[in-house]
Copies of this chain bind each other. A is one copy, B any other.
Amino acid sequence: MLSGGVGGALLARGLAAITDVDLTVIVNVGDDERIYGLLVSPDIDTVIYTMSGREGPHGWGLRDDPFTVMASMDALPIDTNFRIGDRDIATNLFRTDRLAGGWSLTWVTTALASAFGVPATVLPATDDHLKSQLKVANGDWISFQEYFVVRHHSDEVEDIRFDGAAFSKPAPGVIEAIEASDALIIGPSNPVLSIWPILAVPAIGEAVAQKSRVMAVSPLIGGSALKGPAHRILSALGYGTGTSAVIGSYGGLLTDLVIDSSDVDDANGVKRPRIHVADTRMPDLASSTRLAQVIVDAVGKGD
């Protein structure tokens, strides 16, 4: 499975809850950034925290995490827009320290997933530098965190690029997991911001294109993302709206697409990818598992 943040993490948690699923989650690192000197990996942490059932209420951080550190920083002359809870800071200090010591992001991610008891393999897309940069209306190129956290994704996105991607190699285990899998699942993540940077690792894009089964879950319900700006970005980049925008953004890569049951009319006449219909909202583990079961059944039956 390829995953960005919240949506992909919720589906990953559902897939991992199905007994006979052997799951590897390959996670976007294009949003990774140095914040307060800490190397933050927002999507990796959201996947790990969510899959361990400890995610915070707003799609980031840990549940019931105090903010003592941030409260102290608020008294200092520094922009504290990017909020990190105390236990979440521990995760980031660990990653920062280990990476500075020469360990790879893959090693750090594996260690964190193990410490949090995640019942799946979690891998970064790459250990190499790969950073998403967004061109906004005034012509500036800004980082994902600047766009998303500081500016609250209010800018119109005109273009996106993935610095370093052309020279990046997949993290150890990524290609093996893709090749060995019965199906490549793409989570209900923002195609442009969360999945494109994974596919931008050349060897990953090639390996995914070789798969006979590439099944995405649409991140849109009724034309909009439940969280975040996916629909606005797809439209701004010329992919239009709704289900066809999601399909178009994957450029022929998908063999299957799961859409929400409320969007059946939006897929009328679509021949390829094959359309599957399910309830794609995941307010709790039971609904995540139900959606995951639909996917597993479709893969198992070959339809």
Contact = CB atoms under 8 A, between A and B. Distances in A.
B115 A90 contact: no
Interface in A93-118: 93-94, 96-98, 100, 111-112, 115
Count this chain's copies in the assembly. Answer: 2
Contact of A68 (B66, B78, B100): B66
Interface stretch (A36-44, A247-255, A274-282): A36-44
B87 A72 contact: yes
B115 A86 contact: no
A89 interface: yes
A100 B33 CA distance: 13
Interface in A118-156: none
Contacts of A70: 90
A111 B96 CA distance: 25
B34 A77 contact: no
A37 B78 contact: no
Nearest to A74: B90
A69 interface: yes
Given A37-B37, A78-B97, A91 B68 contact: no
B36 A75 contact: no
Interface in A61-77: 66, 68-73, 75-77
A36 B69 contact: no
A86 to B, nearest CB: 4
Given A69-B86, A69-B87, A89-B89, A94 B78 contact: yes
Given A66-B86, A73-B93, A76-B111, 18 more contacts: A35-B97, A36-B96, A36-B97, A37-B37, A37-B100, A38-B93, A69-B69, A69-B87, A69-B93, A71-B90, A72-B87, A72-B90, A76-B90, A76-B94, A76-B115, A77-B111, A77-B115, A78-B98
